[in-house]
Amino acid sequence: MDSFQDTIFKLKRYWADRGAVIQEPYDLEVGAGTMAPETFLRVLGPRPYKVAYVQPSRRPADGRYGENPNRLYKHQQLQVILKPTPDDVLDQYLGSLEAIGIDLRKHDIKFEEDNWEAPTLGAWGVGWQVMLDGLEITQFTYFQQCGGMDLDLIPAEITYGLERIAAFLQNVDSVYDIEWAPGVKYADVRLADEEQFSVYNFELANVDRLWRLFSEHEAECAELLAGFAPENRRFPVLAAYDQVLKCSHVFNLLDARGAISVTGRVGIIARVRKLAVGVAEAWVRQQFAVEEAVA
Amino acid sequence: MPDFLLEIGAEEIPDWMIEPGLEDLRAKFQAAFGVFGGSALVTDGTPRRLFLFAENLLHQAPDTQTILPGPSVSAGEKAAEGFARKQGVSISELGKMQDAKGERYVFHQLTQGQSAAQALSGKLPGIIAGVHFPKSMSWTGKGGFRFIRPIRWIAAVLDAQTVSFEVAGVKSGNTTRGHRILGSKEPLPVTVATYMDVLRDNFVIVRAEERKQRIETGLGADVQKDEELLRTLVYLTEFPTAIRGGFDPSYLELPKEILSTVMRHHQRYFTVVRADGSLAPEFVAVTNTNGDPDGLIRQGNERVLRARFNDARFFWQVDQRKKLSARVPDLAKVTFQAKLGSYADKVGRLVPLAAEICKALEHRSKIDASVVQRAIKLCKCDLTTEMVREFTELQGIVGGLYARAQGEGESVAGAIYEHYKPVSMEDTIPRTPEGQVLSIVDKLDTLRECFKIGLIPSGSRDPFALRRAAQGVIKILFESRLPFSLMKRVEGQPALVDFLNERISYYLREIKGYPYDEVSAVMAPEETWLANLADRLDALHDVRPTEDFEPLAASFKRIKNILKQAQVDETGPPDPNLLFPGPEQDLYNSFVRVRESARASSSYREKLTAIASLRPRVDLFFDKILVNDPNPAIRRNRLALLDSLLTEFSTIADFSEIVTQGASGAKV
């Protein structure tokens, strides 16, 4: 039986063999692998790109104090971006399942419609949730828009839910029983995070300070964007995007603290979205203006 | 004559779009190629293929002749020669034709019909591109071809011959693909004759009906019927196989509503029921495989279900730590609608509205107002629970289950449980008067408040499902017969009054099947309550076929027109002293008699029968009496008689709305 990390190694190897750059996780808090710049910014513009990386994804409101066997505040996604989408993308994807030891002839695979939308990123796509014997193991999305812009090349985004896949492969009922490495359980590695961050996210995070932080990060990003100079290749668009990610994470914390009403939510989402769209547009102008001029 | 086969091979198409997509493909194909005849046109599909089969097409479309008009004969030979040259023929090949302006030269242009192969390869790309889907995508790049999911192959075969064309960079060919996992990995050559068999050998059942039968055969008699789920599974699979699994009976302590929502809605399993109707600890999953020889698929599904049930059990336990009654203050943080405030605000509005309605019902029906008020206070509290956050479709039901578990009493719990009912026209209404009133005030409040801020449904836009809310209120009022006025609750909101009237009319016509004119007739008098409206309609519908009724209705129309033309307002009752003996006096006497017996009767059927009996007197009156008498006092008195007649009986229905034979010819 493969350990959790063996499964991850095999998936990375599989996609590396198909030409993907293997990246490390982005080093800021994100709610999903999509938000890492390796996806959000790389899907923009006309340049082909293939990348795969594990992204720990923090969703403060999903925490359950380590008491629920299937719900985690922080779970790990293996994110694959294939831009443009190869014609045999689904065969390649199914091949990756074979590569981690799933004999597809003995299991039931279904592709069920599941369209994806990230309003804070001005992004949406269509695709499926991939069901393996009734278990959702992957989100597969054909990106259509990102940062409010139609995409030049349509990328396929494959997001594997690593804990679920490992629990399936190891035949365990609780994520905490997954063997992470030989002799080391998931609980040994991650249970303390779940316990402590649930307390922080739901009970102790200082709401007033979070609101101030949100405004500060927003202001920092807006100020950078206001001074954007497209011809300057050193202009820190990437730094501006970091501020968007920080806003987004603070927003999620506020949400977990119950500080955001449904009415307020729409307004906050619009504020983050405005920044994200601004960054995406700046990135496209900075990186691809020359190529467009040549074309 | 050749047969034609088209297969659009795509990545997995959403199950609910396959039938409408095929329907559209069929219609567009028919429109484009109808000229080729054909004895049958069949469409069908699976998640990975839309298939079309046209039988016995003509090899070649019939030739068509077009008449091209040329110059007038009077314009001379020169003009005719020019015209002939332009058509590439000699002048002797032109014809002549007479029209309004004289004789002119014409050319009978013959266009040879296209061959089927030519026409198909020319037009199919456009047809495929034009198939409508509610949400399409592009995959070849910005501004590129759009379809529901990427097209990966196209088979287009006329008998055994490939029809060549290209769509979204995919060249048509004569090959198909088998089942993703079980079929051959290679493209499979097909002809019209071999298509079905080749696919069957590769684990694809092309016909939806056959997949359906295959699933049904595997279900077993103890499986709960679920047509919607069945249809979904038919279009989620190419080779469906039903497999049975089980779960630990200890989960049966969870409410069956929660268990079956998890199984049916979230996992797409059929539930299994015992002889006594309770849930059995089993389920049936439908796989896209040829069986499960090692039981691995069963085990996998069982594990997923166990995790789901554990979640539900966990939510239940966590939720019980805080009773519904302790959650009331939390509703201030749950938004109902941005401009309409929180659910605490909504509940605050429901309290007086329900009190008003309970008061109106006080002496007419048996209803416990304190139960209604308690249920109102608690009915939205389940929105703050983990269970409803996870299973939003169980809102209300969860509240009812929790209320019961927390000792709120059956009548309060039942009212909460059912307060979203009816969710559709097919759904049943809440069973108790308290539940009915709770459901009505909840929906009525939504309607009143949304209309106040201009959230009014238009066309297909109805984001707050206000039509459904109105339809729910109306269905409850008709079926429960609760005796209170709906329209009194929406006074001062003319747009909402119109909206509700339109929904009432719709309900009576489309759901109950009453004719349009009868509905309009009984809706004309001011509403007392809807059950009363239903009684009048019912009576009208029964009495209408009787001999005297329609002629009398025609007379009422005539009376109405006379009064309108005479522009009389307040006539007061007729003066019996001014009545002339004969038809006029007779009508008056009959009217008084019928009025008394109609007033005395509590049956609308009797009332209407009595009114209809006036017909001979009315006919005779119009036959013999001139309303417009030269003497103004007499004229006025006659108008007063007619007005009394009209007014007296118009509280039941406006008979002039009834469409009668030859009514248009009635003279004043």
CB B239 within 8 A of CB B205: yes
The count of residues in chain A is 295
Q: Match 């050998």 to its residue by tokens.
A: B201
Q: Tell whether A170 lies on the interface with B, counting CB pairs under 8 A.
A: no
Judged by a CB distance cut-off of 8 A, whether residue B267 touches chain A is yes
Residue B176 belongs to what H/E stretch?
A: strand B175-176
Is the domain of A10 the same as that of A38?
A: yes
Give CA B364 to chain center in angstroms: 35
Q: Element (H or E) spanning B586, and its range?
A: helix B583-600
pLDDT tens digits for chain A (295 residues)? 899 999 999 999 999 999 999 999 999 999 999 999 999 999 999 999 999 999 999 999 999 899 888 889 999 999 999 999 999 999 999 999 999 999 999 999 999 999 999 999 999 999 999 999 999 999 999 999 999 999 999 999 999 999 999 999 999 989 999 999 999 999 999 999 999 999 999 999 999 999 999 999 999 999 999 999 988 989 999 999 999 999 999 999 999 987 886 667 778 999 999 999 999 999 999 998 765 555 5
Read off the tokens for A172. 């365990």
Judged by a CB distance cut-off of 8 A, whether residue B161 touches chain A is no
Same domain, A140 and A254: no
Structural domain ending residue among the three candidates A147, A177, A200: A200
Task: List the one residue out of B203, B199, B202, B222 whose CA is nearest residue B214.
Answer: B203
Q: Per the CB < 8 Å rule, is A133 touching B304? A: yes
Q: Indicate whether A149 and A253 sit together in one domain.
A: no
- One domain, residues A77 and A176: yes
A190 with A210, same domain? Answer: no
Residue A18: give its domain's CATH number. 3.30.930.10
Residues A19 and A104 in one domain: yes
Same domain, yes or no, for A214 and A190? no
Q: Is A292 on the interface with B (CB under 8 A)?
A: no
State which residue of chain B sits closest to A89, comparing Cα positions.
B11
Contact across the interface for B142 and A266, Cβ inside 8 Å: no
Q: Would you state the pLDDT for residue B340?
A: 86
Tell me the torsion sign for CA atoms B13, B17, B23, B28: negative
Do residues A8 and A115 share a domain? yes
For B58, phi and psi rounded to 5 degrees?
-70, 145
Nearest residue on chain A to B336, judged by CA atoms? A262
Cβ contact B583:B625 at 8 Å: yes
| Residues of chain A found within 8 Å of residue B236, distances taken between Cβ atoms | 110, 112
User: How do residues B239-286 score in pLDDT, each as one tens digit?
Assistant: 999 999 999 999 999 999 999 999 999 999 999 999 999 999 999 999
State the pLDDT at residue B667.
Answer: 34
pTM here is 0.82
Interface contact A111, partner B, CB < 8 A = yes
Specify whether A180 is located in the same domain as A278. Answer: no
Average pLDDT on B82-89 reads 87
How many structural domains are present in chain A? Answer: 2
List the one residue out of B310, B313, B10 whose CA is nearest residue B147.
B10
User: Least CA distance to A107: which residue of chain B?
Assistant: B297
CA distance B368 to B433: 8
Q: Of A156, A174, A200, which one is at a domain's C-terminal end?
A: A200
Which tens digits make up the pLDDT trace of B326-381?
999 999 888 788 788 889 999 999 999 999 999 999 887 889 999 999 999 999 99
Nearest chain A residue (CA) to B288: A108
Q: Are residues A56 and A175 in the same domain?
A: yes
Instruction: Read off the CATH number of the domain in which A217 is found.
Output: 1.20.58.180
Mapped onto helix, strand or coil, the DSSP state of residue B266 is helix
**Cα–Cα distance, A254 to A101 (Å, whole number):** 41
Return the H-helix or E-strand segment holding B155: strand B151-158
- In this predicted model, what pLDDT tens digit does every residue of A197-244 receive, in sequence order? 999 999 999 999 999 999 999 999 999 999 999 889 899 999 999 999
Mean pLDDT over B401-413 rounds to 96
Rounded CA separation A82/A90 (Å): 11
How would residue B613 be classed by pLDDT, with cut points 50, 70 and 90? confident
Residues of A in contact with B333 (CB under 8 A): 258, 261
Whether residues B180 and A105 touch (CB distance < 8 A) is answered with no
Residue of A11, A26, A81 lying closest to A56 (CA atoms): A26
Q: Which helix (H) or strand (E) holds B335?
A: strand B335-337
CA distance A257 to B120: 62
B663 pLDDT more than 70: no
pLDDT given for residue B666 in this prediction: 36
| SS3 state of residue B480 | helix
Q: Does A182 share its domain with A48?
A: yes
Question: CA B22, CA B436: separation in Å to the nearest integer?
Answer: 42
Pairing status of strand B151-158 against strand B170-173: parallel
CB contact under 8 Å between B338 and A171, yes or no, is no
DSSP string, chain A: ---HHHHHHHHHHHHHHTT-EEPPPPSS--SSGGGSHHHHTTTSSS--EEEEEEEEEE-GGG--TT-SSS--SEEEEEEEEEESPPTTHHHHHHHHHHHTT--GGGS-EEEEE--EEEGGGTEEEEEEEEEETTEEEEEEEEEEEETTEE-SS--EEEEEEHHHHHHHHHT-SSGGGSEEETTEEHHHHHHHHHHHHHHIIIIIS-HHHHHHHHHHHHHHHHHHHHT--TT-TTS-HHHHHHHHHHHHHHHHHHHHTT---HHHHHHHHHHHHHHHHHHHHHHHHHHHHHHHHH-
Tens-place pLDDT, residues B424-460? 999 999 999 999 999 999 999 999 999 999 988 887 7
pLDDT surpasses 80 at B661: no
B135, B306, B335: residue with CB nearest A261: B335
Predicted pLDDT of residue A293: 52
Residue B532 is given by DSSP the state: H
Backbone angles phi, psi at A53, to 5 degrees: -160, 150
CA-to-CA distance for B641 and B646, rounded, in angstroms? Answer: 9
Question: Strand, helix or coil at B458?
Answer: strand
Report the alpha-carbon distance of residue A242 to residue A248 in Å, rounded: 10
Residue where a domain terminates, one of A157, A179, A200: A200
Size of interface A-B (CB pairs under 8 A): 114
Amino acid B480: pLDDT: 93
Query: How many whole angstroms separate alpha carbon A178 and alpha carbon A184?
Result: 9
B530-562 pLDDT per residue, tens: 999 999 999 999 988 888 888 888 888 888 888
Host domain of residue A142: 4-200
| CB within 8 Å of chain A, chain B residues 269-308 | 269, 285, 287-289, 292-294, 296-297, 299-301, 303-307
- Residue A100 sits at the vertex; the CA angle it makes with A95 and A104, to the nearest 5 degrees, is 55
What's the rounded Cα separation, in Å, for the pair B147 and B393?
Answer: 31
Quickly list H helices, B252-291: 256-260
Is A76 found in the same domain as A98?
yes
Q: To the nearest 5 percent, what fractions of chain B are helix, strand and coil?
A: 55, 15, 30
Q: Kindly provide the ipTM of the predicted complex, given to two decimals.
A: 0.94
At what angle are helices B369-379 and B397-405 packed, to 10 degrees? 110
The residue-averaged pLDDT of B135-155 equals 94
Name the residue among B135, B180, B311 with its Cβ closest to that of A126: B135
Q: Which residue of A has its CA nearest to B312?
A: A68
